Amino acid sequence: MNKGEFVEALADRLDISRAQAEKALAGVLEIVSEQLIKGEKVAFTGFGSFEVSKRAARTGRNPQTGAAIKIAASKVPKFSAGATLKTAVNAGKGKR
């Protein structure tokens, strides 16, 4: 499912216009992004949580030459599924 399909499904589920659904989704994604940028965790009980994880600097290899390269430390967004979501996926709920 891509963003457009998700917006369409959201509009149908909530009985709102596609424009309203798109605006609502954009708002949710903006809030999650803003909180992650601040270093905050965003948790939806049962569904999962979003947080920022730190990756330490490390040495890697250039796959073409085999030469050692330094990879800088970085921050990456991470999602951890909640218990309810894990159970639903394992039970096959929502299968196509």
Domain range annotation of the chain: 3-91
The pLDDT tens digits for 38-96 are 999 999 999 999 999 999 999 999 999 999 999 999 999 999 999 999 999 998 865 55
50 secondary structure, DSSP code: E
Residue 56 tokens read as 């330490």
For domain 3-91, the CATH class is: few secondary structures
Average pLDDT over residues 9-16: 96
Pairing relation of β-strands 68-71 and 58-61?
antiparallel
